[in-house]
């Protein structure tokens, strides 16, 4: 009986039609700082609490060909603020791109898998997503641990094969491939988006990521904010899927 009633429920015209198989296999990986969030929240926090000196630390690490897995532990050593103070500044100064929630809705309607990939910090990603009731979006990032009046950074998603990024986002592209995704769309703006960019199928880029893509002959769709992504996404995806169908036939 129970089975029968479940089956009836599934045939009810009000239940959404099952998505095409291919829709579920579209993965959208989205950077947070300067992308899903209108400004770079981590840079804002560093400027607020450390002044501008942290930029010298970052630049000298980058000049050695190293990246965030090296400079982040240096920046969050002897951190001068409590978790509460940090949250107060996040609430006061940080916001999502105003069009991002609409993009999340779009992905949900279409049945695309969306996740945040960030080389920033869990504290503000969770805070800002929760403000918009979007805290069910999966994400990977570095973590700040406040303990005994001190702070330390953990990078549980750093990868041995990269060794440079705190969170090497290429790992999530590889996870998408492992899950037999039909298309991996990447959206980002900065240095930490370089590792995944070359391995994704469609790239929406701005800022230094767009410059990197141009320098390295990686095709990218330029965008300013998520109203652009919303406008450009359907055609970019349709033309990529069409090219895939031609390859497969």
Q: Under a CB-based contact definition with an 8 Å cutoff, are residues 151 and 139 in contact? A: no
What mask, x for binding Mg ion by CB under 5 A, covers residues 130 to 169? ----------------------------------------
> Residue 154 and residue 165: Cα distance in Å, rounded?
12
> Residue 182 and residue 185: Cα distance in Å, rounded?
10
Residue 153 binds what, of Zn ion, Mg ion, none (CB under 5 to 8 Å, by partner type)? none
Q: Judged by CB under 5 A, does residue 190 bind Mg ion?
A: yes
What mask, x for binding Mg ion by CB under 5 A, covers residues 34 to 63? x-----------------------------
Q: Judged by CB under 5 A, does residue 117 bind Zn ion?
A: no
Whose CA is closest to 248, among 200, 197, 182? 182
Residue 94 binds what, of Mg ion, Zn ion, none (CB under 5 to 8 Å, by partner type)? none
Q: Judged by CB under 5 A, does residue 191 bind Zn ion?
A: no
Whose CA is closest to 224, among 209, 208, 205, 237? 205
212 φ, ψ to 5°?
-60, -45
Name the one range near Mg ion by CB under 5 A: 131-139, 170-178, 190-198, 220-228: 190-198
Please, what is the end-to-end C-alpha distance for the chain in angstroms?
44
Name the one range near Zn ion by CB under 5 A: 26-34, 172-180, 192-200, 221-229: 192-200
Per the structure block, which two tokens stand in for 117?
């990939």
Nearer to Mg ion, 25 or 221 (CB): 221
Name the one range near Mg ion by CB under 5 A: 31-39, 60-68, 150-158, 240-248: 31-39
Burial class (CB in 10 A: 0-12, 13-18, 19+), 101: middle
Helices (H), 64-121: 68-75, 83-93, 100-110
What mask, x for binding Zn ion by CB under 5 A, covers residues 154 to 183? --------x--x--x---------------
What is the size of the binding site for Mg ion (CB under 5 A)? 5
Residues near Zn ion (CB under 5 A) are 162, 165, 168, 195
């Amino acid at each position: 009986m129970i089975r029968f009633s479940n089956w009836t429920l599934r045939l009810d015209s009000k239940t959404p039609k099952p998505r095409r198989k291919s829709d579920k296999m579209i993965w959208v990986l989205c950077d947070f700082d300067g992308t899903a969030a209108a400004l770079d929240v981590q840079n804002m926090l560093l400027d607020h609490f450390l002044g501008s000196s942290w930029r010298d630390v970052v630049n000298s690490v980058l000049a050695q060909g190293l990246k965030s897995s090296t400079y982040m532990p240096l920046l969050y050593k002897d951190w001068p603020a409590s978790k509460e103070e940090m949250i107060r500044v996040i609430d006061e100064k940080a916001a999502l791109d105003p069009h991002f929630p609409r993009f999340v809705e779009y992905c949900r309607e279409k049945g695309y898998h969306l996740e945040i990939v960030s080389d920033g910090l869990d504290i503000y990603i969770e805070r800002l997503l929760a403000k918009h009731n979007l805290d069910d979006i999966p994400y990977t990032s570095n973590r700040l641990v406040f303990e005994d009046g001190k702070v330390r950074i953990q990078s549980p998603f750093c990868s041995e094969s990269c060794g440079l990024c705190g969170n090497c986002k290429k790992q999530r592209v590889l996870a998408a491939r492992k899950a037999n995704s039909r298309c991996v769309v990447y959206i980002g703006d900065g240095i930490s988006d370089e590792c995944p960019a070359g391995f994704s199928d469609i790239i929406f880029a701005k800022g230094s990521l767009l410059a990197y893509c141009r320098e390295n002959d990686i095709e990218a769709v330029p965008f300013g904010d998520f109203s652009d992504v919303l406008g450009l996404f359907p055609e970019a995806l349709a033309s990529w899927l069409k090219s895939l169908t031609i390859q497969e036939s």
